């Protein structure tokens, strides 16, 4: 059996742990630049603030009902997530951390356990130790565990936040209940396509001939279909090695000036280099993109990307920065208001075993220089920069409603008098 454990309204719940006055009130947490609502309390959901809604469109609801609006505080959420995951692994060793607020678990050798009471004990412990409420769905496959988790969340008074989908009767009842786009892996586009051929709910999808699914959709949908039938196709993915690393941002204000754009992209490339070094990887390929604001139909649009195949695998800030800047110069067009840019590194290889080039290899001094740079920056804050970065950095992400970093910054720790 598999279980999916999911933190309820995770970002809002993290905020509530340290600020209990938010309990019972409608609360939303916003995305970067305070753009969209990406986490909502039950009260805010009831008021009709949708997931991912641009917050300026819902100002009247927010003002009318005194909805508390917060900027996202990632250091806090990352630390709380770590606490929750550590607590879970004390109960079950087979764990796949699927996202910041979700984990899949595998119950192997738990045949003699009462899974309901074991899962309830786990969620009570998490609540007690971290303050974060969770829901647990248990089923024979990962896809069904997802559905089971939805049931646990949707009917809290009946399920007490733990639901076990363990019989054919429960399975077919659940599949008849949930619409297509509630199935893990079936999004907006695909559910529309399936609706057009007469599928109304998950059950209709499961009853489609396998051959048809394979030839008209893809192998991914076929796997989902089998999982929903109760045939396990997806196992725990415990060792997750990243295949790409990205740093991308929307700008608070549009950028139409090449040197300013270069400065931003430079910072993104350095951030990617740092992330690479942190996980002891080198990259072979770097993708740089710049894009105007596609919501502004009245302005001239430009969206462009460059794939840079590097001469040798690297995680050197200097090398990545140089190529990123060349790519921007190459793509930049005058009189365009750029709204977003990013750097993605991919084709990653481990730091300690990679193919050396015949003609060109990295300057051997970079390695120790980077090590020193990372050490100084981690000890004293971002003290060392490259000269082409804006040394008096004026731009800053919009975060008007940021809560303190209660658990990760000494100055922000709550004082008890």
* Contact footprint for DNA (CB under 7 A): 31-33, 35-36, 38, 52, 54, 56, 98-102, 146, 181, 183-191, 218-220, 242-250, 254, 275, 285, 287, 293, 295-296, 303, 305-307, 309, 339-340, 342
Give 188 or 394: the residue with its C-beta nearer to DNA.
188
* Shortest CB 307 distance to DNA, Å: 4
Q: For the residues of 18-62, what is the DSSP string, one character each?
A: H-GGGTTS-EEEE-GGG-EEEEE-HHHHHTT--TTEEGGGGHHHH
* Shortest CB 21 distance to DNA, Å: 26
Give 116 or 233: the residue with its C-beta nearer to DNA.
233
How far is it, in rounded angstroms, from Cα 272 to Cα 262?
15
Beta strands in 145-255 (DSSP E): 162-164, 244-255
Give the distance, in angstroms, between the CA of residue 120 and the centroid of all CA atoms in the same chain. Answer: 27
Return the bridge partners of 340, or none.
250, 291
Residue 152: closest CA among 191, 116, 105, 98: 116
Give 191 or 225: the residue with its C-beta nearer to DNA.
191
Q: Are 337 and 257 spatial neighbours (Cβ–Cβ below 8 Å)?
A: no
* Shortest CB 364 distance to DNA, Å: 27
Sheet with 134-139, edge to edge strand ranges:
95-99, 102-106, 2-7, 134-139, 162-164
Give 184 or 406: the residue with its C-beta nearer to DNA.
184
* Shortest CB 29 distance to DNA, Å: 10
Give 181 or 232: the residue with its C-beta nearer to DNA.
181
* Shortest CB 310 distance to DNA, Å: 11
* Shortest CB 411 distance to DNA, Å: 25
Q: Are 16 and 27 spatial neighbours (Cβ–Cβ below 8 Å)?
A: yes
How far is it, in rounded angstroms, from Cα 177 to Cα 151?
10
Give 313 or 342: the residue with its C-beta nearer to DNA.
342
Give 114 or 382: the residue with its C-beta nearer to DNA.
382
* Shortest CB 10 distance to DNA, Å: 8
How far is it, in rounded angstroms, from Cα 114 to Cα 49?
38
DSSP code of 359?
S
């Amino acid at each position: 059996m598999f279980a999916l454990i999911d933190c309820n309204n995770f970002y809002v719940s993290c905020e509530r742990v340290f600020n209990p006055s938010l309990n019972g009130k409608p609360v939303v947490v916003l995305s970067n630049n305070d753009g969209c609502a990406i986490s909502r309390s039950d009260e805010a959901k009831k008021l009709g603030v949708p997931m991912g809604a641009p917050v300026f469109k819902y100002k009247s609801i927010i003002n009318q009902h005194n909805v508390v609006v917060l900027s996202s505080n990632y250091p806090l959420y990352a630390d709380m997530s770590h606490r929750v995951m550590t607590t879970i692994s004390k109960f079950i060793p087979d764990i796949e951390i699927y996202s910041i607020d979700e984990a899949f678990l595998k119950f192997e050798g738990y045949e003699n356990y009462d899974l309901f009471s074991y899962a309830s004990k786990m969620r009570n412990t998490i609540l007690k130790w971290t303050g974060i409420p969770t829901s647990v769905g248990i089923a024979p496959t990962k896809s069904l565990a997802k559905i089971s988790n939805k049931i646990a969340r949707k009917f809290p008074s009946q399920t007490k936040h733990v639901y076990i989908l363990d019989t054919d009767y429960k399975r077919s009842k659940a599949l008849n209940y949930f619409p297509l786009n509630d199935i893990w892996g079936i999004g907006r586009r695909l559910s529309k396509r399936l609706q057009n051929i007469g599928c109304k709910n998950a059950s209709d999808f499961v009853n489609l001939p396998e051959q048809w699914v394979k030839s008209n959709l893809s192998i991914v949908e076929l796997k989902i279909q089998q999982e929903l039938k109760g045939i396990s196709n997806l196992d725990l993915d415990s060792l997750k090695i990243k295949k790409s690393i990205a740093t991308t941002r929307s700008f608070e204000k549009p950028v139409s000036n090449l040197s300013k754009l270069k400065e931003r992209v430079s910072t993104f490339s350095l951030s990617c280099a740092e992330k690479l070094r942190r996980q002891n990887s080198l990259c072979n390929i770097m993708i740089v993109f710049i894009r105007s604001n596609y919501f502004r139909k009245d302005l001239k649009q430009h969206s462009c990307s460059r794939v840079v195949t590097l001469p040798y695998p690297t995680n050197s800030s200097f090398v990545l920065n140089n190529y990123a800047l060349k790519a921007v110069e190459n793509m930049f067009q005058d009189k365009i208001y750029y709204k977003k840019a990013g750097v993605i590194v991919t084709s990653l290889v481990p730091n300690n075993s990679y193919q050396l080039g015949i003609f060109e290899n990295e300057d051997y001094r970079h390695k120790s220089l980077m090590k020193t740079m990372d050490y100084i920056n981690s000890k004293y804050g971002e003290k060392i920069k490259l000269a082409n970065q804006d040394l008096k950095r004026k731009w800053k992400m919009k975060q008007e409603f940021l809560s303190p970093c209660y658990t990760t910054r000494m100055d922000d720790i709550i004082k008890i008098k």
